[in-house]
């Protein structure tokens, strides 16, 4: 007697193999990882793991400095960028994003930091810090993170 096989398992296997979850995250313009929105450490670590080249080490360093400076910090990935806040699901005090030649750190209440980060924004209170390879002033970054975490955050 001949065996009959269903085409359903083959289709299901093909469909499962096509799911993007098993694939490496896509890099958007400037090398910014495309990571699904999510709350907690896992999506932030997925973002950092997908950062290209030297930016991955910088992402690990930024994350470690933030966690050390703000115990119990809350994390999320929104709009393909890691966000950090003092409450679950915001408000947020800091975010960062990959560009071709640097990583841009956003301080949402940057005009209240001392000294004020140099990168201006079209948003009144936002200030940016562009970090190029081997260009992070850890002491200044930690001072800004500490100050930023004590200010009212931004609900986004």
**How, if at all, do strands 81-85 and 92-98 pair?**
antiparallel
Decide: 132 and 104 in contact? Cβ < 8 Å. no
Confidence grade of residue 29 (pLDDT, cut at 50, 70, 90): confident
Q: Are 85 and 145 in contact (CB under 8 A)?
A: no
Instruction: Report pLDDT for 2.
Output: 52
Query: pLDDT tens-digit profile of 134-152?
Result: 999 999 999 999 999 999 9
- Is residue 49's pLDDT more than 80? yes
78 φ, ψ to 5°? -135, 140
Are 40 and 88 within 8 A, CB to CB? no
Q: Which long-range contacts (CB under 8 A, 24 or more apart) does 8-13 make?
A: none
Domain boundaries 26-149, corresponding CATH code: 3.90.1150.200
Boundaries of every domain in the chain? 26-149
């Amino acid at each position: 007697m001949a065996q009959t096989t269903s085409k359903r398992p083959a289709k299901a296997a093909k469909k499962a193999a096509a799911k993007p979850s098993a694939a490496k995250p896509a890099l958007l313009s400037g090398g910014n990882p495309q990571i699904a929105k999510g709350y907690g450490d896992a999506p932030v670590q997925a973002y950092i793991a997908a950062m290209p080249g030297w930016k991955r080490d910088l992402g690990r360093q930024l994350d470690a400095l933030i966690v050390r400076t703000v115990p119990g910090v809350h994390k999320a990935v929104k709009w393909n960028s890691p966000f950090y806040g003092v409450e679950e699901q915001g408000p947020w005090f800091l975010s960062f994003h990959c560009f071709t030649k640097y990583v841009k750190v956003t301080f949402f209440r940057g005009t209240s930091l001392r000294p004020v980060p140099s990168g201006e924004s079209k948003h009144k209170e936002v200030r940016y810090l562009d970090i190029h390879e081997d260009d992070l002033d850890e002491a200044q970054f930690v001072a800004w993170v500490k100050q930023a975490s004590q200010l009212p955050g931004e609900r986004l």
